[in-house]
Amino acid sequence: MSGDATVTCAMTRHWWGPAFYDWVLAATEARGLANRRRRLLASARGRVLEIGAGTGLNLRHYRPDRVTSLTALEPDAAMRDRLAWRAETLTVPFQVLGVTVADADLPDGGFDTVVVTLVLCSVADPAAAAAAIVRWLVPGGRLLFIEHVAALGVRGRLQRAVSPLWTRVARGCHLDRDTLTTLRQAGLSVSDCDRFALPAAGPLFATCVQGVAWRPPIGEPDAEDRVFRASPSIVEVDGVIGVVGVVGVVGVGGVQ
């Protein structure tokens, strides 16, 4: 296994970790994340690859009339058990591979849709992961994503200050990743991107992006990014947290 095998959530080292993960996310799911998953994944079609599928919170949102097969990568054995339990209700062909994105041996152009939700924050080498996604997508295929990313302004500075410690505590999760830039640099064309605040999440984790990124069809150079919008929720959160952040920075003597 490569160094990328280090797995996100400290809690998943324990058998109770996956249940705890679902419990921690329950309020966030109920207050909007589940709806976002449903809307995003309604457009998954054909041969689908989900990277870091976790406990399988996305599974019920795939539409069996649109998805022909689902392959999941999940390196954490405890998460995989819960994923397999949830997958029992799936009606499309399903397989789960217990490997990281770095170790996966998958066919080039083998998938019509790739899905990542709350995963790219924790892979060891996001640029390599993005390059693998491009390789595994058929030309014209789409990446569907919901990822937590670096915030702007004061909150972003706080994230950068805290991230090295957090990464150690949370086994590889980074608070300050610029995932959209990583996807674009890998050659994906980002569209329909929504920047929003994760409901019921701590201020340092709240900034998320949800969207679609295309592997440009052969012969078509990378298309312009199409749409970028900010949900009202993120504007509110940035305002409130900006004030809290300023107080915090002043309070600790000007952390950069």
**Which residue, 48 or 101, is less far from ligand SAM as judged by CB?**
101
Whole-number Å distance between alpha carbons of 245 and 251:
9
**126 scored as a contact of ligand SAM (CB under 6 A):** no
For tokens 């090295």, the residue is: 164
Supply φ then ψ for residue 82, to 5 degrees. -70, -35
**Which residue, 1 or 165, is less far from ligand SAM as judged by CB?**
1
From 48-56, 136-144, 221-229, 241-249, give the range in contact with ligand SAM by CB under 6 A. Answer: 48-56
Torsion sign (Cα): 106, 109, 114, 118? positive
Among 44, 48, 53, 188, binds ligand SAM (CB under 6 A): 53
The nearest distance, CB 11 to ligand SAM, in angstroms, is: 10
DSSP string, 132-197: HHHHHEEEEEEEEEEEE-PPSHHHHHHHHHHHHHHHHHTTT--S---HHHHHHHTT-EEEEEEEEE
Among 71, 117, 182, 207, binds ligand SAM (CB under 6 A): 117
Say if residues 136 and 106 touch (Cβ distance below 8 Å). yes
The nearest distance, CB 190 to ligand SAM, in angstroms, is: 19
**51 scored as a contact of ligand SAM (CB under 6 A):** yes
**Residues lying near ligand SAM in the complex (CB under 6 A):** 4, 7-9, 51-54, 57, 73-76, 79, 100-102, 117-119, 122-123
